[in-house]
Every structure is written in C-alpha cells, then in structure tokens.
Copies of this chain bind each other. A is one copy, B any other.
Amino acid sequence: MTADTPIKGPTSIVNALREVVGEANVLTSLNEAAAYLTDWTRQFSSEALAVVRPGSTDEVAEVVRICSAHNIAVVPQGGRTGLCGGGVPVAGDPSVIVSLTRMNAIRSLDETGRTVVAEAGVVLETLQDAALTNGLIFPLMFGAKGSCTIGGNLSTNAGGSNVVRYGTTRELCLGIEAVMPDGSVINALTGLRKDNTGYDLKDLLIGAEGTLGIITAAVFKLFPAPSARATVFLSAASLESAIAVLNRLQDHTGGGVEAFEYMPQPAVDVIRKVFPDIRSPLENPAETGILVEVASSRPADAEEMEDGSIRLNSDVMELLADCMEEGLVLDVMVAQSEQQRNDLWRMRESILEAITESGPAYHLDISLPLAQIAPYVNEMDAQMAQLGFQPLTVGHLGDGNLHYALSAAEGRVWEELPLEGAKQKVFALLTRLNGSFSAEHGIGQSKLPVMAALKEQTQLAAMHAIKRALDPSNTMNPGKLLPPV
C-alpha cells in the first residue's frame, strides 16, 4: 500500500460519504489520514476505509445512516487524547472514522442562565476562554485541555483536578444533541436544571464512549470566576491526616476546595530526575505531599499581595496553622505569586511525562471511597515493594481518584518483575475495598479484559441489553467499552 492508495475498501461508500460532506472532508489516502489512525498513547493504531469530517449534525446523521446501511463500523473521534484507545478503530473491522473537529462552534452563551452550548469539536481550552471572556468559568481542567474536545470529554465523562468542587463532565452537562445509531437525532439542548420527563438519555450517552450514538453538541453549566485563590503545597502527617485536613478545609471555606492533589515524595523525586529545573516545594521530603487550591468568588475574600496579584485572605492560612499545631500538617509552602502557583501546577502536570521518560511502568486509574484510600495505599505500597516495584502515585485525592503507577524499584529489571501477580493483588484489594478499576479514563480497548473480569455480571448483562436495543447492528464504535459476551 502506497501513500496515495485508498486506505481500503469499496469506492461506492466513499463516494456516498463524499456527497454528504464534500470531497475535501473524506480522507482516504494514508498520507492524509495517518494522524487519525492512532492516538496520543500510540498504543492503538489501525486502518479505516476513510476519515470523514462532517460539518453539521445533519451531515453526521447522514454519515451514520450510510455506514449503518453498509454494515460499516462508525468510530467517533475527538482530539485523540484518550488513554484507553476508545477513539481509534479496532484492527480488522471495516471502519469509518467520524472526526468531529470541524463541528467547533460555540453556538450560544447565556450570561443570565450561566450556560453555554458548544459543539462536540470545540477544544476544551477554547470553551474555558469563551467563558472567561464573560466573567465566568467552565471548570473542567486537566493536562490535555489544549487539544482534547468537548465531545471526547463527554464520551469519556472526563474528570481531572477540579472534580472535588465542580464534578465530572457529566455533572457539568445539562443537555445534549446526539445522533443515534439509526441516524435519528435527539435534540435536548435545553439547559434546564430540572427536567423529569422520562429516562435519562443524556447520562446514558455521556460516558458511553460513542457506542450508543454520537454526541454532536451539549449545554454546560458555567460558574462565577473566582476573584481570589490560595495555592498551597503541604506535607501532611499521613494520608489519614490529609483527608482530615480536606474535610476541615471544606467546612471552613464552604466547599471552596478546587483541587486537592496527592503528590508524595517518590513522585516528586521522579519529576525532579527528569526535569531538574523543577524545585521541591518544601525543604524536607514530604512523604504525603498535597497540592491544595482553594478559591472564592466573594469580594471580601480577596487580598492584594506585594506583587499586585490577588490572593485569598488569611482565613485558610489560620486553619492550616491550626492543623500544624494539631500535628495533622508538618509543613506548608504558600504560593506568593502567580509564578509560584504556576510552578506548583507545572510540577503536578509533569508527572505522566516524567514516569514515561523514566522507564517502563504499568498505569492504573483507580478510585476508592475516601475512608479507604489510606488503607489501600499503605497495603499496596508495602506489597508492591516486596515484589520489586516502586509505586509512583499521584492523584486527585479530593475525589478519591489515584493514578497509581508501578515502575521497577531501584536496581530491579522491569522485564523480570511479576507484573501479572502484581495486577492481581492490586485488583483484589481494590474490589475488596469497593473501589473502581477505571475512575476517569474509561474502558476503550485497553481495559476490556479487566472490565470482563471485575464488573458485576448483572450490570454487564444490562449494558449488553441496552447496547443491543439501541444499536442492533452494532455499528457504533464496536469493540469498545463492552467486553464480548
């Protein structure tokens, strides 16, 4: 196959697709389509009949109808920043990739109702900027914000750092427009806070990873922009102490904790090894390091700093002083400028790259009830050390989500380590403590085996029944999310 050969497959379908979206928006040569065939992880890449880039909801619907009629798999695609391979075709299936990136309009923004209607292809950061221009925020926040799209965020129910205050994408979304597997369109962009008229189709499609239809647009809640913020790195006495501090902070600020990120010393060490210019926030090692951000839109909470920047007033500092006196907190570093705040967040956001650079690792995206976090981490860290692993853990501690990565301990060779046995221990304890094996990344292709092994059979059966009912020909993103029966 040369770079100019059609990727694969029948000309008649490609011609039909061209009639719908225009010649320029059907990519069939490998040259043009290569970028769409793999994702950020580079673990999943495959082939497709074509990449189609519809420019409207009607075009999406028509494309879905054509593919359904020809029994061709439809693979909806956003910014390709997913971590489980949900946005690229499964090798072997004749597939059409439907890239939503041309549907990138912000259709309307309602300042009174504090809502915004955005199409699936809008980049998250673009939506954040549009909100800020109106004195509001769209609080979804994570590393991929500059390239991920709203449609992908919805389909994976993306989470990130601010879930502790504002919820996941699901909780931010008030309504959707979607193309169903038969090409019919659901128009539910209502922006209502209360609407009890039948089954909750919105939440069924959110997090369904494109297997039940294609979300083409959504209404989201917007929030008042904080007028002041405190960003703090603290060393907690233990994970239990950290969670006690979290609850104290929540009470004290009326739920103002925007981020509460776990950054223990081993994670800071690996970051500093790969990025030597990043400095440790505290002089002494922080076994239980926590990056905390508290914010408020209350004018009375804003205090001007020496460099002219605005910071949260001293309330929070007084509480942290109390926590130190009580022994819950060992040390605190308060960001004194926007620069120091950015440095702390740069450190937090460097961890995935740092681990990847440092050598092979197995990444977990788990969540636990808050009260089970400490027992879990303490027991797992000990067990993994015994097996020769160095756990490199960070996480959104405020919402119980840990990114728990296993790397080879100093002096150990990755290939010789008992990874399968380690996984079994990790998941066994997770199940025992009522945890989730996929907190915010979803299932895609990579987590199908663990989904098959750990998800309750009754729930899997209900999911399969729903999939068969809404997509009887199994056209929509097959081979994702649901393990084969």
B462 near A180 with CB under 8 A, answer yes
Of A156, A197, A208, A460, the most chain B CB neighbours within 10 A belong to A197
Interface: A336 (CB within 8 A): no
Binary flags per residue of A144-170, CB closer than 8 Å to B gives 1, else 0? 000000000000110100011000101
Interchain CA distance A255-B468 in the complex, whole Å: 42
Quick one: which of A285-341 are within 8 Å of B by CB? 296-301, 315
Please name the residue on chain B nearest to A169 by beta carbon. B196
B435 near A198 with CB under 8 A, answer no
Please name the residue on chain B nearest to A460 by beta carbon. B198
- When all copies of this chain in the complex are counted, the total is 2
Interface: A284 (CB within 8 A): no
Q: How many residues of A contact B (CB 8 A)?
A: 93
Instruction: Point out the residues of chain B lying under 8 angstroms from A468, CB to CB.
Output: 469
Instruction: Point out the residues of chain B lying under 8 angstroms from A187, CB to CB.
Output: 456, 458
A439 near B196 with CB under 8 A, answer yes
B370 near A112 with CB under 8 A, answer yes
Q: Can you show 20 pairs from A to B with CB atoms below 8 A apart?
A: A164-B193, A186-B456, A186-B458, A190-B369, A192-B367, A192-B400, A192-B439, A194-B396, A194-B399, A196-B438, A198-B207, A198-B443, A199-B463, A200-B206, A223-B255, A224-B254, A251-B297, A255-B297, A298-B315, A469-B469
- The 10 A-B pairs with the shortest beta carbon distances in the complex, nearest first, are A469-B469, A203-B203, A113-B370, A193-B399, A112-B371, A195-B436, A194-B439, A465-B469, A224-B251, A184-B458
Residues of A within 8 A of B (CB): 110, 112-115, 156-157, 159, 163-164, 168, 170-171, 180, 184-201, 203-204, 206-208, 212, 223-224, 243-244, 247, 250-256, 296-301, 315, 367-371, 396, 399-401, 434-443, 451, 455-456, 458-463, 465-470, 481-482
